[in-house]
Every structure is written in structure tokens, then in C-alpha cells.
Structure 1
Amino acid sequence: MNDLEPQAVLSWVERFITRIDDQVQELTELDRRSGDGDFGTNMVTALSRAKAKFSPAPADAGAPFSSLSTAFLEHSGGTSGPLFGMWFREFALAGEGSPAFSTALLADAARNGVATVRRLGSASVGDRTMVDAMAPAADALAEAVEDDVPAARALRLAAEAARAGADSTSSIIARRGRASYVGEAALGAPDPGAVAVALFFESAG
């Protein structure tokens, strides 16, 4: 089945935190190109708070994501922090009470997460936001369900789609978020929120 049990989910999230810590300077520089330069700091702040709340034996598959969601909603500034909090909340809800994440549960979480972020942030694919990475990843997971792909492999496909989506933002003039204020000045550098989404899926395995 290759489903993700709670301990595997925790390891995924811990790898994500490490990846963000390692690339905080790069994320900060990307945000300076398109925003106010606080994205990396806000991410590290929220993730460090989440890590402090992790249980070494998560109660269910959604528990690590619940810690992420709470940390972003309560301890992250900027416009993207609350959106990440609500996005992770959908993963927490999908895994709540479940002994493992199947491909179908991951697809549900990603689909609902994109819908929530699009509703709250009023952003669509092509606006140069985190949605440009979230939506392709969700589509890849939905296709994986149709093709009966195991969860671990499905996440690799989602990671490839998210990275391609993040890379595509380098050539997009933003229509939403802070980057919309700087116009062409942000061209050539990907959106930091989209990059963080790619790092999240890449950290799965």
C-alpha cells in the first residue's frame, strides 16, 4: 500500500523544516525581489514553534500538520503565513483520526487546501503566488488516485509538479500579493511562497 503512517508524516514535516532552515537566506532574497523581505524569517519562526509542539508519537496521521497549522496561524506574520496555516489545516483535517495517509487522503487534503487558499487569497494559477505550486501538486495527486499510484510515489509526482509550477513564476508578472506592487522588477526570480510549497512536497521523500 505504501501509505504514510504518522511517524512517516512526522519525518516528512521535520525534513521540510530542515529544508527551510537551510534555504532561509535564499527565500529571504527572493522575497526582497518581490516583497518586503520577511518571508524566510516568518517561515522559520512558525516552523520552529511547530517543531517544539511535535509529539514523538503522533496520535494520528494528521497530528504533525495540526501543529504546523496552529503555528502558522498564531506565530507567522505577513500575508502568506495565515494562508499556509489554513493550507496545512486541510492536511490536518484529512488525516485526523486516520492511521495513515493514503493517496486519496493526500489528494483530498491538497484539493481542499488549494480551494481554501484561493478563496482567502483571491489568487489563481498565473497570478505568481503559492497557488502556482499548490494547484499543480493537487492535480498530480488527483491523477495519482485515478492511476492507483501508491502514496510515496504520488508525492514524488506532486513534488515534480510543484517545482515546475514554482519555476514558472519566474516569468510571471504578479497580479496578486506584494509582488504585484513591483511589477517587472520581480521577473527572473520565482515566488518564495511557491518555492516553499515545492520544498514541502520534495521533503516527503
Structure 2
Amino acid sequence: MSGSGAHSGDLDERAAATVDTAMTLEDALAWVDRFISHVVASKAAFTELDRQAGDGDFGTNIEAAVSKARRRLTEQPPSTPGEVLQRVSAGFLATGGTSGPLLGAWFRELAKGVTTHASTEAFAVGVESGTAAVQRLGRASVGDRTMIDAMVPAANALRRAFTVGVGLDSALRYAASEARRGAESTTAMLGRKGRASYVGEAARGLPDPGAVLIADLFETAVPHGAAGLAE
């Protein structure tokens, strides 16, 4: 899996020439549609990855969650980017397994941060808040071989992007690159949470499915910027 191509050294160079932009309703809908389509297409790959390092239900659970989210988006058309993310949150919260409630809480906090103005600052605030919620609920930290290993680098990247004044498109590319780097780092870790903590060495060499999903999420946020997506 490769990164998205944005690195911290690029941010200072881009900041002076960048005008901050916000994600529109149409942008948010397109992003979520790309993400949902990717999850549905990757169900088998996620299932196999989780079978080797977990209990094998991750692909089924996340496919069910995004299908519910898509149905909610159709039945309750959103009028703001925040409402798009609220529908996704509801889909995950209505799904079983460990990841459903955690991802539902993450999207819920992101939706609160984004509301009607999905700027770099709004994403930084929302992703930080969502990541803190998952850490609190899941009692996980960086290095535990969980989705947190991708969430924290993405949150830090967005905060840095906002601090140096980078626009949303570049900020999301940077966040995607850092999330992918974090997901790939889990291949060398021993699981300390969930079923991965029981399989021990059997999981080493494989990335955590939740961390991979978070990297995929950020990569689908940028049109034509999803080069690292798992197949």
C-alpha cells in the first residue's frame, strides 16, 4: 500500500500560495459515495484480513454499516456536509461488532466539528474530537494495533495543516498519507486489544483492518487521490 503523496515538508511550501476552501455538500456526498463503494467492493478483502488477525467479521460489519448509511442518505437527504456525516454515523451506530459503535462515535464527532462549514480547521477539530472519543471508548492508544494507529496520525496531520494555513484539499492529502503510514506501521505490532491480542504472532506482518479502513477513508476524501487503497 502506498501513501497519497503529501508530506509534512510540502505543507510550508504550499501554505503561502493556498487559499483555504471548504468541502461543499456535493463534495461530502461524493466522498461518502466513493468510500461506501470502496467498502462494498473490498468486503472480501477486509474479511480475509480480519480472519487472519481477528474474528473474521469486520468486512461483513462495515459493509452492513455503509449500506445502512447509504439508505439513510437516500431516505433523509442531507442539506449540509455535517448532515452527510451524521447519516454515516447513524449507519455505523446501528451495526454490531466492536468497530460499529466506535466508528459511529468517530463520525458523530466529526459531524459536530464540520457542521455547515467543512474547512481545514473544522476537519482538524472534528477528527481530533472523534479520535479522542474512540480512544476513550475503546481504551486504546497508539501502538495497540487498532484503528487509533491511523486516526492519531491523521488528526495530527490536519492540525499541522491548519496551523501552517494549508487548504482543505492539501490537508486531506497529507492526512491520508499519514493515516496510511500509521496503518502500515501496525504490521510490525502485536495486538493488545480485542481478538488480535489473543492471536499473538499470527497477526504480525498483517495490517490492522480498522487502521486500513481509516486510511482508505481519508484517501477517498480527495478525488483522484486514492492511490493507496487496498484491493
TM-score by length of 1: 0.95
One-letter amino acid of the structure 2 residue matched with residue 20 of structure 1 = V
- Determine helix, strand or coil for the equivalent of 1:21: helix
CA contact (8 A) 1:63 1:95 kept: no
One-letter amino acid of the structure 2 residue matched with residue 176 of structure 1 = K
Deviation at 1:95, TM superposition (A): 2.3
In the other structure, the counterpart of 1:103 is 120
Map 1:159-174 onto structure 2 (within 5 A).
159-174=176-191
- Determine helix, strand or coil for the equivalent of 1:199: helix
- Determine helix, strand or coil for the equivalent of 2:107: helix
In the other structure, the counterpart of 1:125 is 142
In the other structure, the counterpart of 2:90 is 70
In the other structure, the counterpart of 2:66 is 47
CA distance in 1, matches of 2:197, 2:205: 14
One-letter amino acid of the structure 2 residue matched with residue 18 of structure 1 = S
CA distance in 2, matches of 1:151, 1:35: 35
> Residues 49-82 of structure 1, C-alpha deviation per residue, up to 9 Å, x if partnerless?
11011159631120111011111111x2111110
> Residues 109-135 of structure 1, C-alpha deviation per residue, up to 9 Å, x if partnerless?
110011000000000000000000000
TM-score by length of 2: 0.85
Map 1:53-92 onto structure 2 (within 5 A).
53-55=72-74, 58-74=78-94, 76-92=95-111
Higher deviation after alignment, 183-192 or 49-58? 49-58
CA distance in 2, matches of 1:70, 1:23: 21
**Alignment RMSD, CA only?**
1.2
CA distance in 2, matches of 1:68, 1:57: 12
One-letter amino acid of the structure 2 residue matched with residue 5 of structure 1 = T
| Structure 2 alignment gaps of length 5 or more | 1-19, 223-231
Deviation at 1:2, TM superposition (A): 2.3
In the other structure, the counterpart of 2:43 is 24
One-letter amino acid of the structure 1 residue matched with residue 58 of structure 2 = F
Q: Does 1:190 align with 2:207?
A: yes
Map 1:134-145 onto structure 2 (within 5 A).
134-145=151-162
> Residues 85-118 of structure 1, C-alpha deviation per residue, up to 9 Å, x if partnerless?
000001111122x1x3000000001100110000
- How many correspondences in the alignment? 202
CA distance in 2, matches of 1:66, 1:23: 23
Identity fraction in percent = 50
> Residues 111-169 of structure 1, C-alpha deviation per residue, up to 9 Å, x if partnerless?
00110000000000000000000000000000000110101110000000000000110
One-letter amino acid of the structure 2 residue matched with residue 73 of structure 1 = L
In the other structure, the counterpart of 1:175 is 192
| Structure 1 alignment gaps of length 5 or more | none
Q: Does 1:199 align with 2:219?
A: no
- Determine helix, strand or coil for the equivalent of 1:62: helix
One-letter amino acid of the structure 2 residue matched with residue 158 of structure 1 = A
CA distance in 2, matches of 1:136, 1:196: 14
